[in-house]
Structure 1
Amino acid sequence: MLRPEILRDPAPVYTAWRENDPFYWFEELGTWVLTRHQDCAAVLRRLDRFTSDWRRLGERVPDELVMLQTVDPPEHPPVRRLLTAAYRACDHVTLVERTSARVRRLLAGVEGRTADFVDEVATPLTVATICDLLGVDPPDPGWLRRVSPPVIDTMDAGLRPEVIPAGLAARAELDELIERWMTEHRPGGMFSYLAQKLPGAGLDRRLVLNSVRSTFHAGFESSARLLSLALLAFTDAPGTLPQFMRNPESAVEEVIRYTSQVQVLARGCLADTEVGDHRVRAGEGVTLIIGAANRDSAVFRDPEALRLGRSPNPHLGFGRGLHACLGAGVASMQARVLFSELAGYTMVRREGEPAMWDSGTLRGVRALPVTLGRGGDPACATPTDR
């Protein structure tokens, strides 16, 4: 999964797995690997049988990793309610306006020259947007570039356990930032709400702050990967980007399905359970290949094509159920704003091959050189390689 050609395009491997053995036992990691949409969706729905909290199966989980995404009821619902309330209390109209203005500034700054879309557009955009939502000043970009990758690396810890110490150390640095933001924030953001409500909420403070740390980190890292993978997909499929404005909401959903930046989710089985025509026994792991489920031809017609008007589109890109992505709305908003603007460019050209992150769980582009230009009829835009 970490070979360069597979990182660039894992779809052929996923298709082979799904067609040859869509529900197979991976002895090395002690887990079932599921690649069909119906099986992955079934596991995500069954909170009574499949857990995100490996402590319930007797495993030791470092305190740094106990957060909203890794706990189940009864711990999960009150923390999610608090964060959801903080999210809803923000001024989302102003957030969209600020994001739109920022997109225009960032694109104007790279127009007419070759630029790294990841470093000069996607990352600064998503960092600024999540900080606007939280109501804080963005941290130093160089510091973020140093601490973020080790956190992502730990998502592949099953394949590379040696990355765990560096990942925990990076989280500790992020924790210091979160603690500082609890007192150093602006009115109107999520931190302002949390600072008022958390002291009397009766919740585990460490669990809440770990969850906020994850919200911040995913808010820029996962979102930037979505945007960069989306632009890569558009340059791989000449002529698709100008179609974006026909239905931006539908187009964003298709981009999420097609790119699937979150490639893998893991669950543990709490009690013997039938999933499709297979039995999963208590204590066994289940690895859901979301990237494969989102290309399942049993659910999606012509799944290898980027079809911006696809409907219905029951992708699993943001998960399902209780553990669905809290920030899905903001991630989708940024994609809608950015590509609505880019759809008006007459030239969106990729300058050679991208550099990919070596992550099997959170897929992403590390560097994506592009040239942007305006003038003429946007309908004639043809993103191509040089």
Structure 2
Amino acid sequence: MRNPAPVYHAWRESDPFFWYEELDTWVLTRHQDCAAVLKGLDRFTSDWRRLGEGTPDELIMLQTVDPPDHPPVRRLLAAAYRSRDHAALAARTAGRVRRLLADLPAEVDFVREVAVPLTVETICDVLGVDPPDLDWLAGVSPPVIDTMDAGLRPEVIPAGLAARAELDALMERWMSDHRPGGMFAVVSEKLRGMGLDRRLVMNSLRSTFHAGFESSARLLALSLLAIIDNPGALRFFAKTPDTAVDEVIRYTSQVQVLARGCLVDTELGGRTVRAGQGVTLIIGAANRDPAVFPDPDALLPDRSPNPHLGFGRGLHACLGASLAAMQTRALFAELAVHHPEVRPCGEPVMWESGTLRGVRSLPVTLS
């Protein structure tokens, strides 16, 4: 969990496209193959119902449906997201960063005291709602993450579905109790009369909220861990922030794995993938592919070009990619100027998650 790259390199050198019997899936580690699957909507699906597999209603959302269900819901959520004043949002986020860092003692748990409150406040700002209690959220979120590894640990599914039910209740409250101008205000107004599946929309809003803080918080903590491991990298966030953000996204790859199902027999990467078979994309490996990224295990904050797959590709690319990048830029630009000597004061504790990599606790000293 601390550094999976050596395992991925060993896989790629041994067999970059291999069959994994335990999960009945192909495992792909090359950038070219992973990108082809993500863009190959006519050959690969995110909706396992198209292959005859049952999917609980709670898991029918933007990330798990294809056309014709996907485009109108994505257009609705994308329009609601674009309606925000993003310059003002960036200014408020920078203000949150300054306030959070100014109010902290010298030694902090970066995850609990910076990454999580920052990302929760920011996504709630975008949604136009009041942030929920963080202690409650800390209990609800991990079971949802656990279900991403349900293929390996099916016993986690009931707790994950129960946690989603708690988040669903929060979504329903927000649909009737929100501020003007936020995503919930736009969606609640436009949803009426559009003929969309309301459950699909609500599940997608739940996922937008959850990924908006959980995935983003993991990106921030992993990025700081990478910077600690690579002294001198932090200064690039003041000099070349855009390339620095792209590089920590590539280097950390908080979303380690994505899965798709094959719709038609397909020749890919020197293999024949049969209709009905699964393909597991190791995004963490693709983002360290030496065929695409010279010196892939080096954190090079001025790396350009940087065609990482950290936010996916194609139809199911991350809707909030720009929001995650904006928060990362704001936080590390502030650290670069005012806390350039940030250093660990304890051992990091990693989450035991294969799909969404993350740091559970990161004790640091802020100079």
Scaled by the length of structure 2, the TM-score of the pair is 0.99
1:271-350 paired onto structure 2 within 5 Å: 271-344=264-337, 345-350=339-344
* Deviation by residue 1:188-241 (Cα, 9 ceiling, x = unmatched): 100010110001111000000000000000000000000000000000011111
Superimposed CA distance per residue, residues 120-144 of structure 1 (whole angstroms, 9 cap, x where no aligned partner): 0000000000000000000011110
- Tell me the amino acid that sits aligned with residue 43 of structure 1: V
Contact 1:226/1:256 (8 A) holds in 2 = yes
Q: Percent identity?
A: 75
Match in the other structure for 1:172: 165
Aligned-partner residue type, residue 45 of structure 1: K
**8 Å contact 2:234–2:340 — kept in the other structure?**
no
C-alpha deviation, 1:352, in angstroms: 2.6
Asked if residue 264 in structure 1 is aligned to residue 250 in structure 2, the reply is no
Instruction: Give runs of aligned pairs for residues 28-177 of structure 1, distance below 5 A.
Output: 28-111=22-105, 113-177=106-170
Instruction: Say if 1:271 and 1:282, in contact at 8 Å, map to a contact too.
Output: yes
Aligned to 1:369: 363
1:277-335 Cα deviation digits (max 9, x unpaired)? 11100000000000000000000010000000101100000000000000001000000
- 2:203 corresponding residue in structure 1: 210
Whether the 8 Å contact between 1:91 and 1:188 is mirrored in structure 2 is no
Cα–Cα, structure 1 residues 136 and 335, in superposed 2: closer, same or farther, change >3 Å?
A: same
Match of 2:75, as an amino acid? R
Q: Is contact 1:52–1:268 with CA below 8 Å preserved after alignment? A: yes
Find out whether 1:194 has 2:187 as its counterpart: yes
Deviation, structure 1 residue 91: 1.7
**Partners in 1 of 2:267 and 2:201 — Cα distance?**
34
Task: For 2:262 and 2:187, locate their aligned partners in 1 and report how far apart those are by CA, in whole Å.
Answer: 33
Tell me the SS of whatever aligns to 1:266: strand
> Structure 1: how far apart are the matches of 2:181 and 2:347?
42
What residue number does 2:5 align with? 11
Deviations 1:48-84 (A, max 9, x none): 0000000000000000000000000010000000000
Which runs of no fewer than 5 residues in structure 2 stay unpaired? none
Give 4+ residue runs of structure 1 displaced > 3 Å after superposition. none
Deviation at 1:346, TM superposition (A): 3.4
1:97 deviates by 1.2
Specify the SS of the correspondent of 2:131: coil
Between the aligned partners of 1:318 and 1:158, the Cα distance in structure 2 is 22
In structure 1, the gaps of 5 or more residues are 1-6, 374-386
2:318 and 2:304 mapped to 1: Cα distance?
Answer: 21
Tell me the number of residue pairs that the alignment of Structure 1 and Structure 2 aligns.
366
Match of 1:381 in 2: none
Please report the RMSD computed on the Cα atoms of aligned residues, expressed in angstroms. Answer: 0.7
